[in-house]
Chain A
Amino acid sequence: MSKIVKIVSLITLNPIIIFGLYIISHGHLTPGGGFQGGVIVASIAILILVVFENDINLSKNLFSLFESLGLIFFITLAFLGTFKNTFFYNFLANKFWFLGKTIHFGINQGFLNSGGVIPLMNLAVGIEVASALSLIAVLIMSKKKYD
């Protein structure tokens, strides 16, 4: 690809990441959430692989590490409520100062500080989906012999 395409793709990388993180973090208020934002962040890896024509080395071990970390974070959040109540219990909602503001039923303008465990689970799923799809893209499009 020509030099213009390479430079412009590197410039538009930043808004794409911020947009993906916006969709992940506002998942409990607007449409979106972990999976949708994760796919947007994963499209960056595909963009780089297409523009630089597989001449760039994206490390597979880093993606694999982040995928495992995302999954472990998700299941740890699910386990944390178990011994007081039940599994998957939302132990932050309506109680804690961090994410537990009580919202009443009805139309409101959306408070980011609510939702309990749900935004954290969105974050975990977002990290996991982004790294897993980037890993799949790197493995399919790599020009070396399949390892």
Chain B
Amino acid sequence: MIHFIILIIAIPLFSAFLLPLIGKLNEKLMKFWVGLTLLLTSFLSIFLYKLILEKGTLAYTLGARFPSLTAPQGFPIRIILIGDALSGFLALFFLFIVFLSFLFSLKILDGYHFLDPVRSQNALAEAQRKQALLEISKSLTRKTSNGVDKFYTLYLLLLVGILGFLFTADFFTLFVFYEINSIATTGLIAFFRNKECFKSAFHYLAVFAVGSLFLLFGVGLLYSEYGFLNMAIIAKNIQFSFLDKVALSFIASALILKAGIFPFYFWKPEAYNASPVPAVILSIVSSLSALYVLFRISFDVFGLNIIFGQILILFSLLSIFAGVFLALRENNLKRILSYLAISELGYVVLGVSSGFLMSNTESGFKAIEGGLFHMVNDILDVGLLFLIAGIILYISRVRNAFEIRGFARKHPILAGFFLFGVLAISGLPPLNGFASKMMIYESVFHLSPVLTIIAILGSILVLAVLVKIFASIFLGAPSEENRDYQVIPKVVIAIVSIFIILMFSIGLFPKQFVTSFVNPAAKALISQQNYINSVIH
């Protein structure tokens, strides 16, 4: 009996529980322990993905050998975890990104832009500002239990929540992991202890507490009808009655809230502004895993329904536009990037939900493949832009990043990387954004040409917003008062260049990537009978 699925979830959980004790002893030991855990989990996910590609969908029962043990009629009543090609692939990729952002967080936790914004040319004020910076840097690296060990504990707990979302097969464990995600993310948002971050964390947690209670309400409605909480049994017995539609709307709205697309995207800008950059990358990964659960429920549990697919397409188009138009009004670099993240998630939902409507046709399958491929490209592109934003804020310590001019004179490599990120997000060849967006444009055209036109317009407007950022921060002549306060560590340049290498290699060889990774994943998503058969023999 192979225990890989549960070990992937249990090992980060165990090390998250041990981390406060180790953090009291020694700080270097704690960072080494977290890195070791992440490496071990990544290797386990590689083995798991190979096993899934050999043997098909795996189902693992907690507490017994077979799912139907000790049930009178032979129905599964235990908690089951299911891993198939899509969740194995996403787990592998997300763990890789999480490991890279952990390496980033060892050197850079960018809280310095919450300081007093006055940058005067007076020498006395400059000396006072340096003193305040020194105190804040001391408080961020203190060895007592208020510092960095809380960050890594919350980091590992959020990773456990993400992996639980990817492997769950049960509505109740979905609720529990939803709550773990919300609580861990508020801890990460409130990490820099000033009033703005506390307010953002409070509003985030109030919104998500209500959202998870709506999820529980929908799950209770489903339980009252069918008597089981297991996704496979409900998929087998479902009749699409009125109560089912109400339950689907409650569950889908809780998942749309977590994913952050229209109409529930209002928590994203303040949450992404207030949290450190590694936590932002982890939040984007958790939004993608919530989208995965939404697709899993709509394809495999509730079956194909026309109205739900049309509503999802409408939401995706509106989120593409909301992301771009609202980004034009903002003045803060991290907020603009969070609106672009909303826009890219709209592309993912557009691809998969148009494949939902055009099911059993070839262009429908291609649309689903394009949407799933765009998940990978989205985290690479938006993650790269956020990493570079974190580096900029760490080096120059301004409150508003648009006060910097001429960054490209001192750091031409970073400017080149940012330019590659801009080109990748707006879908220009030969980068990876082009491949996935081309698949989405071509296959959505068969559903309705208007959708393709709107999607292309969205890409062009994203390019416009990013060119404005690039021109105002990077180009121009550098002014005297923008000095560097820190040096960029070499590890950080290596991490950013790994992102760039991945972007180029996926962009130059998209066919190999799609046929080896995305194709089995899309096949595993659309076959409902395969999902049910893995649990009930």
Contact = CB atoms under 8 A, between A and B. Distances in A.
Interface of A: 61, 64-65, 67-68, 71-72, 75, 78-79, 82-83, 85-90, 147
B146 A86 contact: no
Contact of B10 (A71, A79, A90): A79
Contacts of B6: 82, 86-87
A82 B63 contact: no
Sorting the interface of chain B by its residue count into under 10, 10 to 19, 20 to 34 or 35 or more gives 20 to 34
Interface of B: 1, 3, 6, 10, 13-14, 17-18, 20-21, 24, 60-65, 144-146
Contact of A88 (B18, B21, B62, B145): B62
A68 B21 contact: yes
A2 B62 CA distance: 54
16 contacts: A64-B145, A72-B17, A72-B18, A75-B10, A75-B13, A75-B14, A75-B17, A79-B14, A86-B1, A86-B3, A86-B62, A87-B3, A87-B62, A88-B63, A89-B64, A90-B63
B17 A71 contact: yes
A44 to B, nearest CB: 23
A48 to B, nearest CB: 22
Secondary structure at the B interface, as helix, strand, loop or mixed, is: mixed
Nearest to A87: B6
* Interface core residue of A64, A67, A87 (most chain B CB under 10 Å): A87
B17 A86 contact: no
A43 B530 CA distance: 51
Contacts of A78: 10
Contacts of B60: 86
B34 to A, nearest CB: 16
B3 A68 contact: no
Contacts of B14: 72, 75, 79
B61 to A, nearest CB: 6
Contacts of A83: 3
Contacts of A61: 24
CB-based closest 8 A-B pairs = A71-B17, A87-B6, A88-B62, A88-B63, A68-B21, A75-B14, A68-B20, A87-B62
B17 A87 contact: no
Contacts of B17: 68, 71-72, 75
Contact of B65 (A68, A86, A90): A86
